Structure 1
Amino acid sequence: MSRTAKLTLLLTSSITGLTVWGVHFLQTSERDAMYQGVIRDKERIEARLAQLAREAEFEQQKLKREHLESIQPELK
């Protein structure tokens, strides 16, 4: 093969290799970013469920307090 053909083959092979590596790198980065979104969503859902549980417990305690205050005589 001539020197020009070898240089062309080397250049095109290098560009192709860099392109494949670049696409692989971008796909890996995007996949990791998407997975971080899943983790954030899971944490947000867990926090919301915990908040709802606290609110429900507060309401139960409020009802219990009102009931007990209604049956307990007032002390003066």
Structure 2
Amino acid sequence: MASRASKITFIASIAFAAVTVWGVHYMQDQERESMYQGVLKDEARVAAKRRQREQLLLESQQKREIYEGVQPVSNTAP
């Protein structure tokens, strides 16, 4: 009888250890994927900001051309 109880305890402890190891690896994979999604979101945010700044630069250059056409600008420094 003691032999059967010890076998059950041994098998249960092995199963518990295996499930624990699997669970830790699963959580690490989920965390890694979550972190990678954060990187992708950051890259998209930076790209959108870059496009917005480029658009503002183009608008500013167009306005400058219009204003210089209306009123000449000299580049003399004091």
Give the TM interval when normalised to the shorter protein. 0.7 to 0.9
Deviations 1:20-57 (A, max 9, x none): 01101100000000010111111111111111100000
Please identify runs of 4+ aligned residues in structure 1 that moved more than 6 A.
none
Shift, 1:69, TM fit: 3.2
Shift, 1:70, TM fit: 3.7
RMSD between aligned residues: 1.5
Which position in structure 1 is the counterpart of 2:62?
A: 61
2 CA distance for matches of 1:70 and 1:27? 64
**TM norm structure 2:** 0.84
Listed as ranges, the gaps of 5+ residues in structure 2 are: 73-78
User: How do 1:14-33 and structure 2 match up within 5 A?
Assistant: 14-33=15-34
Amino acid at match of 2:20: T
- Between the two proteins, what is the percent identity of the paired residues? 35
Shift, 1:68, TM fit: 2.2
**TM norm structure 1:** 0.86
